[in-house]
Amino acid sequence: MRKLLSALALMATAAGAAVVITVAVPVAPALALDNGLARTPPMGFNNWNTTACRSTFNESLVLGIIDIFVNQGLRDVGYQYVNLDDCWAVPAPNSRDANGNLIPDPTRFPRGIKFLADYAHARGLRLGIYTSAGTKTCNTLGFSGGLDHEQQDAALFASWGIDYLKYDNCNNQGVDAQLRYTRMRDALAATGRPIVYSITEWGRTGPPRVWEWGKEVGNLWRTTGDISDNWTSMIGKAQFNRTLPQWAGPGHWNDPDMLEVGNGGMTATEYRTHFSLWAMMAAPLLIGSDLRNVSADTFTILKNTDVIAIDQDRLGRQGVVIANDGAGHVVYARALANGDRAVALSNETTTTATMSTNVNAIGLGGSASYTLKDLWSKATSTTTGTISTSVAGHSTILYRVSRNGTTRRIEAEAASFSSGTTIDRNWSGYSGTGFVNTPNATGSFVQFTVDAAAAGPATLTFDYGNGSTSDRPVSVSVNGASGGTLAFPATGAWALWKQQTLNVNLNQGANTIRLTATGTGGVANLDYLDVTTTGGGVVHYQAEDATIFQGVVESNHAGFTGTGFVNGDNVVGSGVEFMVASTSGGSTPVTVRFANGTTTNRPMSVNGQTIDFPGTGAWTTWAEVTFTLTLSAGSNAIRLTSTTANGGPNLDRLSVG
Ligand code: GLA
């Protein structure tokens, strides 16, 4: 067992626990944005779309929204940031006090901004604020901006306990945008407080445009001008924002502006389209209506946890348009962390239409059957491949599509490969800890070991990126015999991922699947292999292929299955997470193979249940413990977490069924 607590983990804990850090020695300016925030798109509220600069923007609104977040369960479904927009300060020219600090408007906010931040923090929420990367903010009644006051304003915000800054673009005096926004990035970093940084430059200047440099500077950036509460404005934002999927990823998102849901200018159908498309595009979900005064419909839309789960999917890939007939019928698809796909059939016309796609087009082909869940009606249905439905004018049908059978994932970084191959992380949207990049040469290869409980057919899905303009073809061998070829066509950008599927027959036990490049480009960047089988029986999931938290893969103690075992750190919270698919769900036997060479029991929490892992006598003596878990039909996360400072046992594999 590893004895050292990783320094990184220690730092992460310290940062996570921080409330206000007063920094005596300024932190050196960051070279890139590495604040660790917004790993999924920010969710919360911003007052602008409902109040603009009117007097209704005041303390009672902000406190009211915070209370509603708590009382109506919005906090529980993920809404977190309550953000103040323009006009929170005394208008210029009297915005600053004798020390140069911005003064909150005493009529709107008689108890100041720190009071609001404390109120939000006490309820598990966060508070955001606004200023402009210019001499003044945008509204004509606005106040002094942040240009040339970056450090003082950032320090003031941090001292109030601010967690999010929207930094606008008005009155910027023609100073280069990258320079202005980078200065505030560094000022925020120097405060030592974690502050989500929202660049509101609207994609106005460049090239390079904000999405091309935004990742290094902010957590999100506006891609368009301001949204208004009508269909034409909303759909226009979507039409532009959907052209930029390769720029989004965990920690850095395209922002097509805040939500209008609930403001009254669109129908419930149109607001559902708005919310669906924002979720497909991994856009921030910042509520823009006065929740003290909205219809029940509004809450139903904003609290649709199935749709929120698409937006917040931890793989962090923005959905892409896979079909657009140019006449207002647009199909989007988005790959999700557990291998499912989200599909939106969006009808921008005013006339009902039948819209169709299929499982191949969304990268999920090859299998015998699929489950579709309509995320608005909640109806589920089964298909062998076609996805087709009637879609009313201005409506969007949103499905989550799962492959039936049992799917397990093998990360490409857990495979073996030809020499010169690297595991890279420079293109976001990868699953696991990186992706595999082979040398650009004929003969480069990636080889997976696939354990099968029983002989029989399997569908292999390879997730890959190919930002070149040519195919990256491979020949596939299965246990040494030819298994076919895959073309791996260009995906449009290195940060755009697609899938290719292949049906093969597996032997019982270990199978060797090798992809060998037949072109001089080598193998495309490979992210993962999903193996789907439809037979019953026990399915084994190797710990070394699972997601590992605070631990390493080792092979120094004999007797393990697969290619190694996971040795978790000797801390509370180390462990692994397996993604397990179940056809029917229900109470299912689960067996964990482990070794514990100490004489002390090493308990772990497994989806909330505590399982004991007693000493096995030696690190090379492996034992099994079986217990029951209730699984859902479809994908399930099974997470094993150590509950004591000794860490868990060495973990070899998990078997289901
Ligand atoms: C700009 C921004 C808006 C809003 C206003 C406030 O227009 O794009 O989102 O913040 O300023 O004045």
Hey, what amino acid is at 454? A
Tell me what pLDDT residue 579 has.
86
For ligand 1, the distance from its centroid to the CA atom of residue 539, given in whole angstroms, is 54
| CB of 201 closer than 6 angstroms to any ligand 1 atom | no
Say if residue 537's pLDDT is above 90. Answer: no
Check residue 475 and give left, alpha or beta (phi > 0: left; psi -120 to 50: alpha). beta
Query: Is 554 close to ligand 1, i.e. is its CB under 6 Å away?
Result: no
Nearest CA to ligand 1 atom 6: 86
Residue 168 CA, ligand 1 centroid: distance in Å: 7
Q: Is the pLDDT of residue 18 over 60?
A: no
Q: Report the nearest atom of ligand 1 relative to the CA of 200.
A: 8
Instruction: For residue range 334-356, list pLDDT tens digits in order.
Output: 999 999 999 999 999 999 999 99
- 137 Cα nearest atom in ligand 1: 12
Residue 588, pLDDT score: 78
Query: 561 pLDDT band (50/70/90 cuts)?
Result: confident
Taking only the tens place, the pLDDT of each residue in 121-130 is 999 999 999 9
Whole-number pLDDT of residue 14: 35
Asked if pLDDT for residue 131 goes beyond 50, the answer is: yes
Pocket test for ligand 1, best of 138, 204, 258 (most atoms within 8 A of CB): 138
- Give the number of the atom of ligand 1 that is nearest the alpha carbon of residue 85: 10
Q: What pLDDT is recorded for position 656?
A: 81
Radius of gyration of the chain measured on its C-alpha atoms: 26
**Sign, Cα dihedral of 230, 400, 317, 637:** positive
Catalytic residue numbers read 168, 226
- Confidence (pLDDT) at 30: 44
Q: For 480-507, what is each residue's pLDDT tens digit? A: 999 999 999 999 999 999 999 999 999 9
Protein residue with its CA nearest to atom 8 in ligand 1: 226
Which tokens hold the place of 189? 């970093």
Which ligand 1 atom is the nearest neighbour of the CA of 226? 8
Residue nearest to atom 11 of ligand 1 (CA): 138
Q: Distance, CA 655 to ligand 1 centroid (Å)?
A: 54
Task: Return the residue whose CA atom lies nearest to atom 5 of ligand 1.
Answer: 138
Q: Using most ligand atoms within 8 A of CB, pick from 46, 57, 86, 201 the residue to mutate for ligand 1.
A: 86
Residue-wise pLDDT for 566-614, tens only, equals 999 999 999 999 988 766 667 777 889 999 999 999 999 999 899 999 9
Q: What is the mean pLDDT of residues 264-270?
A: 98
Distance CA 482, CA 464 (A): 21
Whose C-alpha lies nearest to ligand 1, atom 1?
Answer: 138
* Mean pLDDT computed over 234-241: 98
For ligand 1, whether the C-beta of 427 sits within 6 Å is no
Q: Can you name the residues that pair with 346 across neighbouring β-strands? A: 330, 396
Task: Look at phi and psi of residue 559 and say left if phi exceeds 0, alpha if psi is from -120 to 50, else beta.
Answer: left
pLDDT for 163 equals: 98
Q: How far is the CA of 200 from the centre of ligand 1 (A)?
A: 8
Cα 137 to averaged position of ligand 1 atoms, centre (Å): 8
Structure letter (DSSP) for residue 304? -
Give the range among 16-25, 135-144, 245-254, 288-297 with minimum mean pLDDT: 16-25
Is the distance from the beta carbon of residue 138 to the nearest atom of ligand 1 less than 6 Å? yes
| Surface-to-core class of residue 600, CB atoms within 10 Å of its CB (0-12 exposed, 13-18 middle, 19+ buried) | exposed
- Whole-number pLDDT of residue 538: 62
* Residue-wise pLDDT tens digits, 407-453: 999 999 999 999 999 999 999 999 999 999 999 999 999 999 999 98
- Cβ(224)–Cβ(201) under 8 Å? no
Query: What is residue 366's three-state secondary structure?
Result: coil
**pLDDT band for position 8 (cuts 50, 70, 90):** very low
For 276-313, the pLDDT digits (tens) are 999 999 999 999 999 999 999 999 999 999 999 999 99
Centre of ligand 1 from the C-alpha of residue 322, in Å: 32
Ligand 1 center to 133 CA (angstroms): 12
Instruction: Decide: 200 in ligand 1 pocket, CB within 6 A.
Output: yes
- Write out the two tokens for 613: 């892992």
Ligand 1 centroid from CA 596, angstroms: 59
Q: Which residue has the higher pLDDT, 581 or 137?
A: 137
**Which atom number of ligand 1 is nearest to the Cα of residue 225?**
8
- Is any ligand 1 atom within 6 A of the Cβ of residue 86? yes
Residue 218: pLDDT band by 50, 70, 90 thresholds? very high
CB 323 within 8 A of CB 361: yes
* Probe target for ligand 1 pocket from 51, 87, 168, 228, with the most ligand atoms within 8 Å of CB: 168
Q: Report how far residue 405's alpha carbon sits from residue 400's, in angstroms, rounded to the nearest whole number.
A: 16
Q: Residue 25's pLDDT is what? A: 39
255 in contact with ligand 1, CB cutoff 6 A:
no
Q: Which two tokens stand for residue 12?
A: 């992460």
Percent of the chain with pLDDT over 70: 93
Give the residue among 541, 564, 540 at the shortest CA–CA distance from 551. Answer: 564
* CA 606 – CA 415 distance, rounded (Å): 27
Q: What does the pLDDT read at residue 64? A: 98
Q: How far apart are CA 388 and CA 615, in angstroms?
A: 55
Report whether residue 51 contacts ligand 1, using a CB cutoff of 6 Å. no
The pLDDT score that the predictor gives to residue 20 is 35
Over 60: is that where the pLDDT of 17 sits? no
Q: Is residue 11's pLDDT more than 50? A: no
* CA of 166, closest atom in ligand 1: 10
CA nearest neighbour of 594 among 563, 629, 621, 558? 621
Q: Which tens digit of pLDDT belongs to each residue from 80-130?
A: 999 999 999 999 889 999 999 999 999 999 999 999 999 999 999 999 999
What SS3 class is residue 575?
strand
Tell which atom from ligand 1 comes closest to the C-alpha of 222. 8
Q: Say whether pLDDT at 21 is over 50.
A: no
Atom of ligand 1 nearest to the CA of 139: 12
Asked whether the bond before 106 is cis by omega within 30 degrees of 0, the reply is no
- Number of H helices and E strands in the chain, helices first, is 11, 38
The per-residue pLDDT of the chain, averaged, comes to: 92
Specify the pairing of strand 586-595 against strand 43-46.
unpaired
Looking at the predicted structure, is the pLDDT value of residue 26 above 60? no
Going from the Cα of 201 to the center of ligand 1, the distance in angstroms, rounded, reads 10
Residue 623, helix vs strand vs coil: strand
Output the residue whose Cα is nearest ligand 1's atom 3: 226
Q: Whose CA is nearest to atom 9 of ligand 1?
A: 226
Closest-CA residue to 256 (of 281, 231, 219, 273): 281
pLDDT of residue 548 exceeding 90, the answer is yes
| CA 86 to ligand 1 centroid distance, Å | 7
